Structure 1
């Protein structure tokens, strides 16, 4: 049976950020921590060894594969900062068009530094991603 690799842990978010080598990237990580916390309304938690996630949802694909993931998150990696937002949302693409300097993959948006992007658009991406995932994967009561 498939074992999900990236799970929420009890590791310290602050200790993780303090281990970021580059001072400017560490500074950006603290600013992102504030932005994501304020915008999402969720407390930051470590997911796996290197993702700072906010909130969570349980997904189940048509294939039967299921698991848990953060609603949104980021990771201050060596090369670039990875931002994690929902995939499959058409509004995401419209917002990304106005975000600023970035590249994107299937699930990640990559930025070199926070100064390269519009923080107001980043806040909208966080809000839109959470809304999209909560509608797509509602919490069962």
Structure 2
């Protein structure tokens, strides 16, 4: 079952994208997130689709036969909030999430209104824990 992900890595300029975020606080938070992700991962970001800044990548093949490649971790400065992606998900990180601060989350997407609402140290722990968890399932490569 060959399927292509809708969200693919692009050659778009990450810095230009971040500096063009319209809302000043969201732009400032996005630039800070970029610094945090670069520091924690040691990787250079790439754009994934038009609005996701990704760090690292992994190739997967599910039991169903679906295969693809996706960012290992990253974020998107959305209009309503900052979306932070920890793959394969947040299911095993309840203790970290309890210490994070004000947020909402789904399976693999953490939403925060502003970085000031969360503990950056805990965010760094989450990013590292997510990458470690992903690396136990798939081979994670730098970008």
TM-score clears 0.5: yes
Q: Is the 8 A contact 1:86 1:129 kept in 2?
A: yes
- With CA pairs under 8 Å and 6+ residues apart, which has the higher RCO, 1 or 2? 2
Task: For residue 101 of structure 1, give the secondary structure of its aligned residue in structure 2.
Answer: coil
Distance in 1 between residues matched to 2:109 and 2:137, nearest whole Å: 19
Q: CA RMSD in A?
A: 1.6
Gaps of 5+ in 2: none
Counterpart of 2:102 in structure 1 is: 101
Deviation of the 1:72 alpha carbon = 0.7
Distance in 2 between residues matched to 1:64 and 1:123, nearest whole Å: 33
Q: TM-score, normalised on structure 1? A: 0.93
Q: Is the 8 A contact 1:89 1:132 kept in 2?
A: no
Deviation of the 1:21 alpha carbon = 0.8
Relative to structure 2, which stretch is displaced further, 108-117 or 79-88? 79-88
Q: Is the 8 A contact 2:11 2:47 kept in 1?
A: yes
Offset from partner CA, 1:97-141 (integer Å, 9 cap, x none): 1111000012200000000000000000110111111111136xx
Distance in 1 between residues matched to 2:63 and 2:20, nearest whole Å: 39
Counterpart of 2:73 in structure 1 is: 72
Counterpart of 1:22 in structure 2 is: 23
Q: TM-score, normalised on structure 2? A: 0.92
Relative to structure 2, which stretch is displaced further, 14-23 or 114-123? 14-23
Q: Is the 8 A contact 2:88 2:133 kept in 1?
A: no
Q: Is the 8 A contact 2:93 2:126 kept in 1?
A: yes
Runs of 4+ in structure 1 deviating by more than 4 angstroms, as ranges, are: none
Counterpart of 1:118 in structure 2 is: 119
Offset from partner CA, 1:48-98 (integer Å, 9 cap, x none): 110000011111111111111111100000001000002356542221111
